[in-house]
Amino acid sequence: MSSSTEFEPKIIAFVCNWCTYAGADLTGTSRLKYATNVKIVRFPCTGRIDFLLLLKSFAQGADGVIVSGCHPNDCHYTSGNFHARRRWIAFRTVLDLMGVDIRRIQYSWVSAAEGSKWADLVNNTVADIRALGPYAEYQKVAEYLEKEGFDEEA
Amino acid sequence: MKKLRDRVAALLDEGAVSLVIGYEEGTKRPRPLFCRNSESSGKLIFDSRCFHNLAVYVTKKELVGKERFAVTAPISTLRSILQLYVENQLSEEKLLVLTVDLNGELREFVTFEEISAYVAQFEMKRGEREQEILSKIEGMTREERWKFWMGEMSHCFKCYACRSACPLCYCTKCVVEVNRPQWINPWPSPISNMEWHVNRAMHMVGRCTACGACGDACPVGIPIDLITRKMMEDLAPEFGYIPGQPAKQGNALSSWKLDDREQFIR
Amino acid sequence: MSEKNTYLPYLMTIDKVIKEAPGVKTYRLKFQDESEAAAFDFQAGQFGEYSAFGEGESTFCIASSPTRKGYIECTFRDTGRVTSGMASLEEGSTMGFRGPYGNVFPLDEWKGKNLVFIAGGIALPPMRCVIWNALDLRENFKDITIIYGAKSVNDLVYKEELKEWADRPDVRMVTTVDPGGQTADWTGEVGFVPTIVETVAPSAENTIAIVCGPPIMIKFTFPVLEKLGFTDSQVYTTLENRMKCGVGKCGRCNVGKLYICKDGPVFSKAELNFIPAEEY
Amino acid sequence: METKYISQGGMAQWFESIIASGKRVYAPVNSRGQVDFKLVKNLSEVADDYIQTTQSIKASVYPKAEVLFTYEKDHGKVNLSDFDPETIPETVLWKVHPCDAAGFKPLSAIFNWDSADKLHNAHLVKTSVISFSCAKADQSCFCTSVNGSPGNTAGSDIQLTVLPDGGAIAEILTPKGEALVALLPPVFEAERGDKKEQYLVDLPARFSLEEVNAKLNKAFNSTVWKEQSERCIGCGACAFVCPTCACFDIQEDVHGSKGRRIRCWDACGFALFTLHTSGHNPREHQSQRWRQRILHKFSYMPDRLSVVGCTGCGRCSRACPVDMNILEHITSIAKQ
């Protein structure tokens, strides 16, 4: 029923290979329906997901980002997700200080057995981002190159 | 001052050290001095205006050479030296640390344990400038913070003085120089400038000792030191370390706790 | 007045891909615009800036001879962002080229002389240009000797051409590999280039030696040539430094006062005496 | 060249007519504790009490990052679109110091010495410089030692020398300057015989360029480079605030099938500036890079381009985090 003018959020999901990717796979094989706004990028482990990738996603036009992996104690590499969790805490702190809209980054644990949790996660995130609207604030700045030579006043 | 000069001259004359990194009077304010013989020790000064972080030089191999050397270190430099030691960048055999304490007494630290005990007496506090800007930022809405920092970031022209002045930025190849993939664009633009400074802050988590060298070095006056300082303040209680003192249990991002906060994770 | 934008490359089509050695390829490039092709001219020794669109530009010599019209060739090793971008291109894809830049080998001055070409490893491409140039004008020169060495048999580039040169009666071809780099059926020499130059011992009489290779090879070959009686004005080399613009502006490639991109890349040993060796 | 008098009120009216003409006007503005050139609309925004802007006016004719051309890939083919000089707007730089205006000559010498640089020249054509002679200087200033002076008109289209009454001597130096005067001719009154020199700061020369040049010709292997550069931490602050430093990098910005090639500022002081792919680095040590900076400005450029690569603005000394003072270093080389 969506009209052509309704905002469809673009969402990039960075997921670990062992839990969330398998979980998302289960969502599909279980024939659970969920929003199609998400593009999945598979990583070996949440510990491998560089924080700059999240910023790159916004610069390239994403309105929201999902980062998801194994539940604590379930990491295929024992502690990758614990390291990732620490990094997320730090990353949220610095992004919040810089005034980046951290509501647009959704972190989650989704196991290989949680197909329905993945569907809920995506649906909820899409709804949240839809309510927030496009991340134009970030995208506008990302397009900017020093054309004028001197700094323009903001 | 005389005690310091005499001691440095003696160290150099005895051959106990081959180099002493200290301060001399500069054209605007004190600047780093490299004493390689006892004559130049007469130029040494050490007072409250000496705040350039000399720890930036102690990891430069072409500068310090293979022999034992000494550094005259105010508190900020001491903190950085400790952090560098924790990161296995320094050894006690190679470095002798001198300072003048609050009573004007010359002190010599042979072990890092001694430095650690000395540094622990000093609490990290915001200075007037830090307090003024940070409380302004803390009072802003998210949108205002974004506007504030984007305004600041638009001034950055990527001279990397912040990186060069930081004692803890000792990587031989920085992430900005990696071009496969090109993580951070080499030209200045507000977004890539922000990516660089966020990246710098992330690499400093649990390591930054808030010496302020990066902010002081910035030729265009961006208060970048406050990004890492605020990170330090906010994350120290969370990750269980004391600001300005190296974490005993390893660096914040190379360790973790089972009960790290996770209410933001769905 | 419409000035030309120096940085705007010619569009080229990759006409042919030749695999030379592990990681080393030669591309034959043809101009997409016929009027540009007709107006284009270069001389042996010159170089250009090659673009892989999406990755950037990289500096290589023009490896084909100016006597072979209608195309240029470049030989490169897949080592960095641009070269790996180039290596992933296929026949028929588009590349960019700016040039020709830099000075030239003074082939006219060398008329009636013997030529000795000494090259090592991936430094044969700049030499190949002038070798073919000389061979295509064979009657202009007396004896031609080519001494070429690489780390191993596998690392020799232009294998077909090495054979062709070896088979020519009017060329003395010596190929060598570093000790340990030979294969069971290797029939060439075994030894480092400077040593082989000493054994081959070309006469310095009325001869020009052109040396091109890694800095270490050049460093040890120059004294050998001196011992054989070559004066500084009889020895030529081409230098390489990192470049971005190719036209003397970006500030990278200068050696003392001289810009390799403008005053070089071809230098006689006599000219090298006036620039600081530590900067190249 | 013609000399006129313009009153304080006249200057304000003239400024307004320049703004009204639609040209972009950049002037020194004091904000965030720094004075730098910014787009302005009112004379009241222009900073008053300062010695020098942090950055030079270099960026007006040589932007920090500029698109050389754009391209689009389409099934193995590539379509190029060239840089268009028409996109550059008419720009007026207000209240430029003579040392900044003088920087255009060495900058253009680098960009045009062999082949013309289309981008730089496009900016140059569209840029007019209204300089203000200097009544003040600080201990970093040394324009008089490098062929300049507080009233040097090189590179300016109009130079104003402010008088005690708030008015100014207006030297109209070029056709571009005349065009600016033509925006409001009546405010340019007949000159009153004011002596310009009287209103300039007195800045004795600190060294002789010829002497420095002669010393540098023999200094390549001197130990002075290592001694002077020991405290240098290898950042690019000096190069980026310099009005004449022109070293650049060429980089690629790609988004899917579209891309643009970008020229951006670079600095010879960076460790990786000259690094070869092989790992070999001709200027591996900071001392070699410091030597390159000084020799390029004071030896190579005078010899090859007949222009000294320094205008004595002193910005590098002010910007340096570790007090690498160029005046101090050059003076000590001259005395050796």
The pLDDT value recorded for residue A3 is 52
Rounded Cα gap, residues A43 and C171, in angstroms: 57
Structure tokens at B36: 């390689």
Q: What percent of chain D has pLDDT over 90?
A: 94
* Distance from C-alpha of B6 to C-alpha of B35, rounded to nearest angstrom: 13
3-class secondary-structure state, position C229: coil
Nearest to B165 among D65, D230, D321 (CB): D321
Q: In terms of DSSP bridges, do strands C24-31 and C10-21 run parallel, antiparallel, or are they unpaired?
A: antiparallel
- Give me the phi and psi of C273, to 5 degrees please: -60, -20
Which residue from D251, D272, D321 is facing B161, i.e. has the nearest CB? D321
- Asked if the structure places residue A27 within a domain, the reply is yes
Task: Count the Cβ atoms, other than its own, within 10 Å of residue C208.
Answer: 22
Contacts of C109 (CB under 8 A, 6+ apart): none
What ranges do the domains of chain D cover?
A: 2-335
The amino acid that residue C260 corresponds to is I
CB spacing of A106 vs B266 below 8 angstroms: yes
> How far does CA C26 lie from the centroid of its chain?
12
**Angstrom distances, CA of residue C172 to CA of C118, C148, C175:** 12, 11, 10
Neighbours of B145 (CB within 10 A): 18
Question: Closest Cα to residue B257, out of A86, D301, D88?
Answer: A86
The answer as to whether A130 is a domain residue is: yes
One-letter amino acid of D217: N
Q: Which residue shows structure tokens 């920085």?
A: B174
Tally of helices (H runs) and strands (E runs) in chain B: 10, 5
Q: Where does the pLDDT of residue A4 fall: very low under 50, low under 70, confident under 90, or very high at 90 and above? A: low
C255 has a pLDDT exceeding 90 = yes
Which residues does B182 contact at the CB level (< 8 Å), separation at least 6? C81
Same domain, B59 and B148: no
The listed CATH number (3.40.50.80, 3.30.565.10, 3.40.50.2300, 3.40.50.720) that belongs to domain C114-238: 3.40.50.80
Q: What is the mean pLDDT of residues B99-124?
A: 93
Residues B72 and B26 in one domain: yes
The pLDDT value recorded for residue D301 is 96
Cβ partners under 8 Å of residue B56, min gap 6: B80, B164, B165, B166, B167, B213, D233
**Distances, alpha carbon B232 to alpha carbons B24, B126, B196, in Å:** 31, 12, 18
> Which residues sit opposite B78 in a β-bridge?
none
C10-101 to CATH, choices 3.20.20.10, 2.40.30.10, 2.60.40.420, 3.40.47.10: 2.40.30.10
Mark B150-164 as b/e (b = at least 16 C-beta within 10 Å). Answer: bbbbbbbbbbbbbbb
Domain count, chain B: 2
Q: How confident is the model at residue C2 (pLDDT cuts 50, 70, 90)?
A: low
Whether B30 is in a domain gets the answer yes
Q: What percent of chain D has pLDDT over 70?
A: 100
Encode pLDDT of B202-230 as tens digits: 999 999 999 999 999 999 999 999 999 99
**How far is A137 from B190, CA to CA, in rounded Å?**
12
Give yes or no for C151 touching D (CB within 8 A): no
Buried b (16+ CB within 10 A) or exposed e, D63-76: bbbbbbbbbebeee
**Domain total in chain A:** 1
Q: Does A133 touch chain B (CB under 8 A)?
A: no
Say how far apart CA D59 and CA A70 lie, in whole Å. Answer: 50
User: Which chain C residues are Cβ-neighbours of B179 within 8 angstroms?
Assistant: 80-81
Question: Is there an interface between C and A (3+ Cβ pairs < 8 A)?
Answer: no
Angstrom distance (rounded) from CA C132 to CA C128: 6
pLDDT of residue D256: 87
Instruction: Name the residue facing D220 among C249, C253, C276 (closest C-beta).
Output: C276
H/E stretch holding C28 reads strand C24-31
- The three-state secondary structure class of D95 is strand
Looking up tokens 């020098």 gives: D52
DSSP per-residue letters across A89-119:
HHHHHHHHHHT--GGGEEEEE--TT-HHHHH
Alpha carbon distance C63, C103 (integer Å): 15
- Contact yes or no for A147 and D67 at CB 8 A: yes
Mean pLDDT of C123-127: 89
Contact C244 D249 (CB under 8 A): yes
Tell me how far CA of residue D127 lies from CA of C103, C145, D36, in angstroms. 35, 58, 17
pLDDT of C259: 95
Helix axes of D118-126 and D104-112: crossing angle, nearest 10 degrees? 150
Residue A37 confidence (pLDDT):
96
Q: Scanning every residue of chain C, which has its alpha carbon at the shortest distance from the alpha carbon of D75? A: C93
Establish if A51 belongs to a structural domain: yes
Count of alpha carbons within 13 Å of B50, Cβ hemisphere only?
24
Q: Is the Cβ of A48 closer than 8 Å to some Cβ of chain B?
A: no
* Backbone phi, psi, residue D80, to 5°: -105, 145
Across the range D10-26, mean pLDDT stands at: 96
> What one-character DSSP code corresponds to residue B157?
-
Put simply, whether B58 touches D (Cβ < 8 Å) is no
Give the pLDDT confidence of B117-133 residue by residue, as tens digits.
Answer: 999 999 889 999 999 99
Report the C-alpha gap between B256 and B92 in whole angstroms. Answer: 28
* Set of chain D residues whose Cβ sits within 8 Å of the Cβ of B216: 321
Distance, CA of D292 to CA of D297 (rounded, Å):
8
Q: Could you tell me if C3 lies within 8 Å of chain D, comparing CB atoms? A: yes
Phi and psi angles of residue A150, each rounded to the nearest 5 degrees, phi first: -100, 160
Q: Is residue B243 part of a domain?
A: yes
What pLDDT shows up at residue D278?
A: 86
- Phi, psi at residue C216, to the nearest 5°? -65, -35
- Tell me the per-residue pLDDT of A31-67, one tens digit each, with 9 for 90 and over: 999 999 999 999 999 999 999 999 999 999 999 999 9
Look at the alpha carbons of C92, C93, C99, C105 in this order and tell me if their dihedral is positive or negative: negative
Distance between D183 CA and the closest CA of chain B, angstroms: 33
Q: Residue B105: what residue type?
A: E
Contact B202 A124 (CB under 8 A): no
Q: Which residues of C touch D114 (CB under 8 A)?
A: 247-249, 262
Mean pLDDT score, C210-234: 93
Q: What are phi and psi of B141, to 5 degrees?
A: -80, 170
Nearest CA to CA, how far is B258 from chain D (Å)? 41
Distances (CA, A) of C41 to C28, C46, C47, C69, C135: 16, 11, 12, 9, 19
The helix (run of H) or strand (run of E) holding residue B107 is: strand B106-109
For residue D306, the tally of other CB atoms under 10 A from its CB is: 11
Q: What angle do CA A9, B185, C83 make, to 5 degrees?
A: 110
Question: pLDDT for D161-185, tens place per residue?
Answer: 999 999 999 999 999 999 999 999 9
* Contact call for B and A: 3+ CB–CB distances under 8 Å: yes
Domain extent, residue B86, equals 2-119
Asked if the structure places residue B266 within a domain, the reply is no
pLDDT at D255: 87
Out of A60, A145, A152, name the one closest to residue D39 (CB): A152
Other beta carbons less than 10 A from residue C123's beta carbon: 23
If you measure CA to CA, which chain C residue comes closest to D86? C2
Q: Tell if the CB–CB gap between A146 and D66 is shorter than 8 Å.
A: yes
With CA atoms as reference, the chain B residue closest to D328 would be B27
Does B126 reside within a domain?
A: no
pLDDT at C89: 95
Q: Return d(Cα C223, Cα C156) in angstroms, integer.
A: 25
Q: What is the pLDDT of residue D5?
A: 97
pLDDT at B51: 86
Q: Does the pLDDT of residue A151 top 70, yes or no? A: no
Q: For chain B, which chains pass the contact test of at least 3 CB pairs under 8 Å?
A: A, C, D
Query: In this structure, is residue A149 part of a structural domain?
Result: no
**All structural domains of chain C with their residue ranges:** 10-101, 114-238
Alpha helices in chain A (DSSP H): 20-29, 51-59, 80-98, 115-132, 136-143
Name the band, by pLDDT with cuts 50, 70 and 90, for residue C277. Answer: confident
List the one residue out of C37, C93, C16 whose CA is nearest residue D78: C93
Please indicate, yes or no, whether residues B111 and B161 belong to a single structural domain of this protein: no
Do the chains contact at B159 and D325, CB–CB below 8 Å?
no
pLDDT band with cut points at 50, 70 and 90 for residue A149: very low
What is residue A150's predicted lDDT score, i.e. its pLDDT?
40
Answer whether residue C242 shows pLDDT above 60.
Answer: yes
User: For residue B248, what pLDDT is reported?
Assistant: 75
Q: In this structure, are B89 and B153 located in the same domain?
A: no
pLDDT tens per residue, range B45-76 = 999 999 899 999 999 999 999 999 999 999 99
The enclosing domain of A34 has a CATH number of: 3.40.50
- Res C43 pLDDT > 80: yes
Residue where the block lists tokens 């209410």: B263
What does pTM read for this prediction?
0.94
- The whole-angstrom separation of Cα C83 and Cα C99 is 18
Q: Which residue in C252, C253, C272 has the most chain D C-beta atoms within 10 A of its own C-beta, making it the best mutation to test that interface?
A: C252
Which chain B positions have a beta carbon within 8 Å of A50's beta carbon? 183
Cα first-last separation, chain B: 59
DSSP string across D228-291: HHTT----SHHHHH-SS---EEEEEEEETTEEEEEEEE--TTSTTTT--TTS--TT-SHHHHHH
Whether pLDDT at C276 is above 60? yes
